[in-house]
Structure 1
Amino acid sequence: MPTAEHGNATVIQMRDISPEGDIVWASLTRTQLSTQRPPDWLGDGDVLFAARGARNYAVCLSQVPAATVCAQYFFVLRCKTDRLLPEYLAWHINRRPSQHYLRNNAEGTDQLSIRRAVLEDMPIAMPDLAQQRRLVALAEAAVQERRQLDALAQNRERLLDALAQQLLSSSASTHAIP
């Protein structure tokens, strides 16, 4: 979609989604949509599915700014039953069995893609809502753990860099590698 500084909508693109599935709302591009047909605005609980590329994943949206759409390489999934949580649906799509199904059914030579019919035919296990909530909470805890571990590793690297800098600064004799 073309960029329009004072456009009437923002658009979610692949680059706006982190590997963990977070959307950087502040980085969305503004665009001007035609007013001939009202857009299908995104809302909380919508699930975006990246249908093109080597990595097909799903993201459940929350805190969606008004007047937001997504780029054409996403499918928008909306749960039509109250027996399926959108967060659970995204989690299920991102798990290994579903990813295996998607890889086996991807099409294309230059760029792999998933047809909508393939996605609609994907088997989805639907435990009761309490179990879905527990699985979503467990997945969120795993993401938080991963973020904390990454932060610890980055802190350790900064510490090691600071120690190396301190050794170079305080050493009276530094030598080149022989």
Structure 2
Amino acid sequence: MSAKKTITTVTLNDCVTIQAGYPFRGAISPILSGSVKAVQAKDISPLGELLTDNLITTDLTGKREADWLKQGDVLFSAKGSKHLASYVSRQLERTTCAPSLFLLRIKAQWQNKVNPQFLTWQLNQSPVQTYLKRSAEGSFQISIRKPVLAATPIALPDIETQNTIAKLYEASIKENALLHKLINNRQQQLNAIATDLIQNSK
């Protein structure tokens, strides 16, 4: 009989650095000739997938340099009705994030102990989401403050288990995206049939 594997409980702040997104002045305006791209909350799907095809192109409006997103980073939407985490699965050229997002980056000493994609999955699951809802502030524009996010309890199994869950999570996102695409394609087909029937009716 195999021994039960140990699960360690830590706070999010123990294993990641938490940095607010770039402090753009006001709304982020599209600039066709801009030199940077910015991830906003709308670029995170309801499943937690980072959608990078239509990122806004703009320019930095402040004096400080941006924190450029790296593969392995985790973004967390701190404002709005949904507080989802999203995994940065590939390198993005000169891309930062809006101030409504927190940038989470695994600390050096935790690199071999925490899978960031597993961490993303756990942040989006009901135990953490329940904790965040209890701690959220505001009635209309609900927000998660940095100290609340930092204190989020995280359960860490061994890295092999984390890797397995991360792969399952990645597969589930791809499967859901494919399913939604099939549903949308079928609906468009039915809409076209309905339009054709009306146009050809006497």
Question: TM-score with structure 2 length normalisation?
Answer: 0.73
In structure 2, list runs of 5 or more residues that go unmatched: 1-27
Bigger share in helix? 1
Aligned to 2:82: 55
User: Within 5 A, what are the aligned runs for 1:105-120?
Assistant: 105-120=135-150
Q: 1:117 and 1:89, CA in 2 relative to 1: closer, same or farther beyond 3 A?
A: same
Question: TM-score with structure 1 length normalisation?
Answer: 0.82
Q: 1:62 and 1:144, CA in 2 relative to 1: closer, same or farther beyond 3 A?
A: closer
Bigger share in strand? 2
1:161 offset after TM fit, Å? 6.0
- Tell which deviates more after alignment, 78-87 or 36-45: 36-45
Q: For each residue in 1:54-93, what CA deviation from the matched residue of structure 2 results, as whole angstroms up to 9, or x when unmatched?
A: 1001001022321111000000001111211111111110
Select the residue among 97, 105, 129 that pairs with 2:159: 129
Secondary structure, in 3 states, of the residue corresponding to 1:69?
Answer: strand
Secondary structure, in 3 states, of the residue corresponding to 1:43?
Answer: coil
Select the residue among 6, 26, 44 that pairs with 2:71: 44
Select the residue among 94, 97, 101 that pairs with 1:67: 94
In structure 1, list runs of 5 or more residues that go unmatched: none
Q: How many angstroms apart in 2 are the aligned matches of 1:141 and 1:89? A: 16
1:137 offset after TM fit, Å? 1.3
1:47 offset after TM fit, Å? 0.6
Select the residue among 123, 139, 144 that pairs with 2:174: 144
Give the length in aligned residue pairs: 171
Select the residue among 112, 122, 125 that pairs with 1:92: 122
Larger radius of gyration: 1
Select the residue among 31, 44, 48 that pairs with 1:4: 31
